[in-house]
Each structure stands twice: as structure tokens, then as C-alpha cells.
């Protein structure tokens, strides 16, 4: 039975659904999905259209709002909202080092995780929609990877959609993972260069930390081995609106004097491990490159391989000269399954996913070219996480899609400027802007 409860200005209802693990075998094994229904307190008994929110990631449960925070307040003016924990995330049947051994060995785990991509998520949504709305179509808001899922929705089940709203999540329809990262590293370098222009003192700070890590074996309190490559991966912060400032504040408190000489401070280590650990979202690391898999070609640790084409990201070479250390961005590397204790037991499973071939196609260009669903997409200028050129190429391939290209926000615009962003997307989809 669904449980309802209140927060300031809203009524929440916990919803649970049973769906097939493999939608091609509907009578086979099932998994559970969790979603949180949210409605404005003064509209709780009204018949309202539904808006489904698909979180970014992959591998993150839907955001846990309190009251009418961020874009949710704007949505609740006219919608009943469903915040879905996509399969394997949040309260939906979890997938991580503690639960995946129930599947068996690494090969069985990898086969299981092959069902955790956008195509399976969208088929989940269709089963949930029929139960929640009685079959009526709904509006979908997809953030980042949620936008990837939304484009798959438009490709496979557009009849389930009243409108599609996408924030920072228009994927390439046909790019291999190599193409994604080959486009990513120059963008990452631009973000790092902009950070150092804002905080020039951080050039020496980052070099000093990297030099310390090359000379010392540093293990964080949670058992994470802080290598120089792991330190560089903190550049993932630079894709968010406040990320450059957060990185700066982290670097400025890196060292303390001790009886044994300078050491990385407890405060630095505590924050670094919170940023680097995948304990709370292991699925992100496991399937991150798999979300780009289409056809026979494996992803094969694309971010690691393509990085070799950009020697400026080599920390040892940077420190041997006088240039700045470059951080990296939203990349998953095989060494993460050595440094992170939450991922170590899944190292072989991740390798099998990287080697997997025969991925189903995620997008249908012909169907998208004939699209009749109103679609609006916010495309963030020089988005560090999703290539702008790829996004605009896809926008041109989806009939009727209207874009809002802006440099006012970074990739987290739906959170940083939620009401304005959602309002703009709704106006574009309704041909009111």
C-alpha cells in the first residue's frame, strides 16, 4: 500500500512497481522500482497532468527535494510529479558491490548490468506510466543522462509522451565512446584553463599536491588510494556552476604542517574522499561508458585510451616542466576499480562490460526525423559533460525540436536556475516563446 506524508507545501507518496529485468522476457525475473509522487498541498485532490523526472547520471537516484526546491516548485504549479529512481539506483533494486555477488560471478554480473541502460529504463517508464496515469501520456523532463533516456523515449515509445523537455542531455545519435571522449578532452582543457585564469594561485597549489602524490602513497580515511590521476579527476567539479569555486576552496586548504613535515590536511582528505568515492553510486562507474555502446564495437575503456592522444594531461610530464597540471572531467577509468574500495570487488565485472559487443541501437533516426511530440532542449554553451556540437547535430535530427542555447548556466542549470530553465522549456515546447 502506498504511504503518503507531507513536507512544507507538498504531499508525497511512495510508489513501488515491479518490472521485468529483461523486457524481452516479460515472464522472467523481475526487479523493483521506487518512485516518489509529489503534488502541491493545495492541489492534492485535483486531477492534474503528470510530469516524469529522469535524473542525470547514469546511476543516481532521483534528487531528494525538500518542499518546493529548485525546478520542482515551478512544476508543481500545474503537474503531479513522479521522481523515479531508475533501475539500480536509490530505493530501486540496488546494484553495487554488496548486492551484485547475489547474481554470481563477474560474467553473470556483467550480463545483469547490460539491462541497465536507457532502453531498459524507458521500457520501465512505459509500464509505470500505464499504472500511474491509467494509460494517459505524460510530460518527461530529462536532465543529462535523463535526456539521453528521453531521446530513446522519442525513438521507441513517443505515444507515451505529451511533451519532452531536455536539460543538458542531447546525445549524439551515432558517436562511439571514442568520439565522445575525443571531443571531451579539449573541452575539459578549456574549463581548466578558465579555472586557472580565475584563480591563478591554484596553478602552483595543484602542482604541489600532484608532486606530493607522486612522491607519497596517500590512502584516504575510507581506504581510497589517492593517486595523482585520482586527484586530477576532481576536475569533474568544473562542469557545474559553482564547481570552479569549490575546487579552489578545496585546493587552498590542502596542506598542514606536522612534526613529519607538510602533509595533506584531514579537511582536504575528508572532502576529497567524499568527491571521489563511488560508494553511493557504483552504477555510475560500472555503466558510464556502456551508455554510449551501440553495435558490435566495444567501448573498451574509451576515456583511458583516448586520453593518451592528449599528452598535456600527463601529470608527470606537466610537473617535469613548468606548465599547469590539467584536471580531467566526467570520465571513468579502469584504475578507479583499483583505487576505490567500493569498486575494487567489481573490477572484473567492469572489464567485461568494457569488452562487451552487440549493444542494441539506442536511437532511431528515421522515427526522430518524423517526430510529432513537442520537444524543447536547453543546450549549455561549451557544456563540459555533453558536447555542444553533438547536441546541436541531434537537435537538427529531431523534427520540431526547439533549442535554447545559453551560456548563463553550466551543466547543472536545471538545479542552479531550475524555475527559469523549466519555464523556458515549457514555453518552447508549447510554442509560447
User: What are the catalytic residues?
Assistant: 144, 383, 411
**Phi-psi label, residue 248: left if phi above 0, alpha if psi -120 to 50, beta otherwise:** alpha
The HSE-up count of residue 416 (CA atoms within 13 Å, CB side) is 15
Give one DSSP letter per residue of 111-151, joined into a string. Answer: HHHTT-SHHHHHHHHHHHHHHHHTT--EEEEEETHHHHHHH
- For the chain, the straight-line distance linking the first and the last C-alpha, in angstroms and rounded, comes to 42
Tell which residue, 70, 405, 393, 409, has the closest CA to residue 239: 409
Tell which residue, 251, 361, 342, 385, has the closest CA to residue 295: 361
| Sequence-separated (6 or more) residues with CB below 8 Å from residue 416 | 240, 241, 242, 409, 410
Tell which residue, 35, 74, 33, 32, has the closest CA to residue 53: 35
User: How far is the C-alpha of 152 from the C-alpha of 148, rounded, in Å?
Assistant: 6
Give φ, ψ of 263 to 5 degrees. Answer: -135, 160
Give 406's strand partners.
Answer: 380
Amino acid at each position: 500500500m502506498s504511504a503518503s506524508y507531507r513536507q512544507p507545501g507538498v504531499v508525497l507518496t511512495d510508489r513501488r512497481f515491479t518490472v521485468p529485468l529483461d523486457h524481452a522476457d516479460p515472464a522472467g525475473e523481475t526487479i523493483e522500482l521506487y518512485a516518489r509522487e509529489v503534488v502541491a498541498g493545495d492541489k492534492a485532490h485535483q486531477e492534474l497532468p503528470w510530469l516524469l523526472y529522469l535524473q542525470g547520471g547514469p546511476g543516481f537516484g532521483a534528487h531528494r527535494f525538500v518542499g518546493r526546491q529548485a525546478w520542482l516548485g515551478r512544476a508543481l504549479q500545474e503537474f503531479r510529479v513522479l521522481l523515479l529512481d531508475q533501475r539500480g539506483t536509490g530505493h530501486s533494486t540496488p546494484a553495487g558491490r554488496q548486492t551484485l555477488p547475489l547474481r554470481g560471478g563477474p560474467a553473470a554480473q556483467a550480463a545483469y548490468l547490460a539491462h541497465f541502460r536507457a532502453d531498459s529504463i524507458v521500457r520501465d517508464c512505459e509500464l509505470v506510466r500505464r499504472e500511474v496515469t491509467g494509460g494517459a501520456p505524460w510530460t518527461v523532463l530529462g536532465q543529462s543522462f535523463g535526456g539521453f533516456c528521453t531521446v530513446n523515449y522519442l525513438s521507441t515509445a513517443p505515444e507515451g509522451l505529451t511533451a519532452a523537455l531536455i536539460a543538458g542531455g542531447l546525445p549524439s545519435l551515432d558517436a562511439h565512446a571514442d568520439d565522445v571522449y575525443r571531443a571531451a578532452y579539449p573541452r575539459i582543457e578549456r574549463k581548466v584553463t578558465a579555472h586557472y585564469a580565475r584563480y591563478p594561485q591554484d596553478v602552483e597549489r595543484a602542482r604541489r599536491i600532484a608532486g606530493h602524490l607522486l612522491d607519497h602513497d596517500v590512502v584516504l580515511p575510507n581506504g581510497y588510494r589517492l593517486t595523482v590521476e585520482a586527484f586530477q579527476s576532481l576536475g569533474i567539479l568544473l562542469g557545474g556552476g559553482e564547481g570552479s569555486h569549490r575546487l579552489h576552496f578545496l585546493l587552498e586548504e590542502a596542506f598542514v604542517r606536522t612534526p613529519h613535515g607538510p602533509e595533506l590536511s584531514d579537511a582536504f582528505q575528508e572532502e576529497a574522499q567524499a568527491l571521489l568515492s563511488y560508494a553511493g553510486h557504483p552504477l555510475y562507474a560500472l555503466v558510464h561508458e556502456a551508455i554510449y555502446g551501440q553495435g558490435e564495437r566495444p567501448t573498451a575503456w574509451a576515456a583511458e585510451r583516448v586520453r593518451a592522444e592528449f599528452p598535456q594531461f600527463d601529470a608527470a610530464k606537466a610537473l617535469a616542466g613548468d606548465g599547469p597540471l590539467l584536471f580531467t572531467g566526467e570520465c571513468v577509468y579502469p584504475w578507479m576499480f583499483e583505487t576505490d574500495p567500493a569498486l575494487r570487488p567489481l573490477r572484473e565485472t567492469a572489464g567485461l562490460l568494457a569488452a562487451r559487443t552487440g549493444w542494441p541501437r539506442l536511437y532511431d533516426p528515421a522515427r526522430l526525423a518524423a517526430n510529432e511530440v513537442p520537444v524543447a532542449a536547453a543546450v549549455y554553451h561549451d557544456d563540459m559533460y555533453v558536447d555542444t556540437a553533438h547536441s546541436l547535430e541531434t537537435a537538427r535530427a529531431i523534427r520540431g525540436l526547439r533549442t535554447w542555447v545559453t551560456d548563463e548556466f553550466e551543466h547543472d542549470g536545471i538545479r542552479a536556475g531550475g524555475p527559469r530553465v523549466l519555464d523556458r522549456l515549457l514555453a518552447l515546447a508549447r510554442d509560447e516563446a
